[in-house]
Amino acid sequence: MAALLGVHCTPAGQPTQNDPFKPYTATIPASGIRFEMMPIPAGKAVIGSTAGEKGRRPDEGPVHTVQIDAFWMGRYEVTWDEFELFVGDDKVDAVTKPSPAFTDMSFGMGKAGFPAVNITQHAALYYCKWLTEKTGQFYRLPTEAEWEYACRAGSNTAYYFGDDPAELADYAWYSKNSKEKYQQPGKKKPNKWGLHDMHGNVAEWTLDQYLPDFYATPAASKPNAWAEPTKLYPHAVRGGSWDDDAADLRAAARKGSNPSWKQRDPQLPKSNWWMTDASFVGFRIVRPVKKPSPAAIKNYFKKAIQDL
Please give the domain boundaries of the chain with CATH numbers for all domains.
Answer: 2-304 (3.90.1580.10)
Q: How far apart are the first and last CA of the chain?
A: 18
Instruction: Give ∠ CA 4-239-112 in degrees, rounded to 5.
Output: 90
Low-confidence ranges of the chain (pLDDT < 50): 1, 8-17
**Could you tell me whether strands 281-282 and 203-209 are parallel, antiparallel, or unpaired per DSSP bridges?**
parallel
Cα–Cα distance for residue pair 28/47, rounded to 1 Å: 33
> For 65-115, how does the pLDDT look when each residue is reduced to its tens digit (9 = 90+)?
999 999 999 999 999 999 999 999 988 876 688 988 989 999 999 999 999
Q: What is the mean pLDDT of the chain?
A: 93
The pLDDT of residue 20 is 85
Angle separating helix axes 80-87 and 121-135, nearest 10 degrees: 80
**CB neighbourhood size of 260 (10 A):** 10
Strand order in the sheet with 235-238: 254-256, 235-238, 203-209, 281-282
Cis peptide before 165 (omega within 30 of 0): no
Residue 8 vs residues 59, 71, 147, 239: alpha-carbon distances, Å: 28, 11, 17, 26
Angle separating helix axes 294-304 and 121-135, nearest 10 degrees: 160
Helices (H) and strands (E) in the chain, counts: 4, 10
The pLDDT of residue 92 is 80
| DSSP 8-state symbol, 159 | B
Per-residue three-class SS string for 241-259: CCCCCHHHHCCCCEEECCH
Taken in order 82, 88, 94, 100, the sign of the CA dihedral is positive
Containing H/E element for 176? Answer: none
Cα–Cα distance for residue pair 292/276, rounded to 1 Å: 35
The pLDDT of residue 18 is 60
The pLDDT of residue 15 is 45
The pLDDT of residue 16 is 46
